[in-house]
Each structure stands twice: as C-alpha cells, then as structure tokens.
Structure 1
C-alpha cells in the first residue's frame, strides 16, 4: 500500500505544478504558441480547472 500512496502523491504534485503554471499564466498573461497557433486564456482557464480537480482527487485518494 505504501507504493500506491507514493505514486498517487507524485501524480498529484505534478498536476499541482501544472495548475500553478496555468494560474501564473492567467495572472501574468505571457503568450504561448503551439505549432504557430496562439493558445488563448480560455484554454488556460480550462487547464486550471481540470488540473485543480485532478489534484484534489489524487490527494484525497492518496490520503485513504
């Protein structure tokens, strides 16, 4: 059971970092382009919401 908690916690930390990066981008507003196309703020907001939800779910599951 210890390995399962470690993997879940590591995944939660990775999603937390992605969520914090999305929050930083929303606050600062620096441009990101993928394949020559600009990524909008709306996409970043969806990444923030999904990342936060996944982070919370993984931390809750690791706590059990």
Structure 2
C-alpha cells in the first residue's frame, strides 16, 4: 500500500508541476479541437497538489 501511495503522489505532483509550467510558459493545449483555457490549469494545480500531499501523508502513516 505504501508503494502505491508514493507512486500516486509522484504522478499527481508531476501533473501539478506540468500545469504550473503551462501557466508560466503560456503553453497552448487543445483537446479534440477545443482550446483549453489557462484558468483550468489553476484548478489542476490545486487538485493535483492536494492529492500529491494527501498521498505522501498517507504513505507516511502506513506501516511497511
């Protein structure tokens, strides 16, 4: 369980980091012809960051 939580934390942290880069570097994103607005990345940063922190906190509580 601990390994699963650590991997999940890394994945969510990576997603949050990439969305932060998208905002800083003004990268465009298109999904099936739809231009994804930049404000959506703010939500992804908050959600991904929160899930990352949550996963690592749970991993610290789980016994190996």
Q: Same fold (TM over 0.5)?
A: yes
User: What TM-score do you get using the length of structure 1 for normalisation?
Assistant: 0.92
TM, length-normalised to structure 2? 0.92
1:35 paired to 2:32: yes
Dislocated runs of 4+, deviation >2 Å: none
| Structure 2: tracts of 5 or more residues without a match | none
Report 1:47-62 matches (<5 A).
Answer: 47-62=44-59
CA distance, structure 2, for counterparts of residue 51 and residue 8 of structure 1: 14
Structure 1, unpaired ranges of 5+? none
**Offset, 1:62:** 0.3
Q: Distance in 2 between matches of 1:58 and 1:47?
A: 16
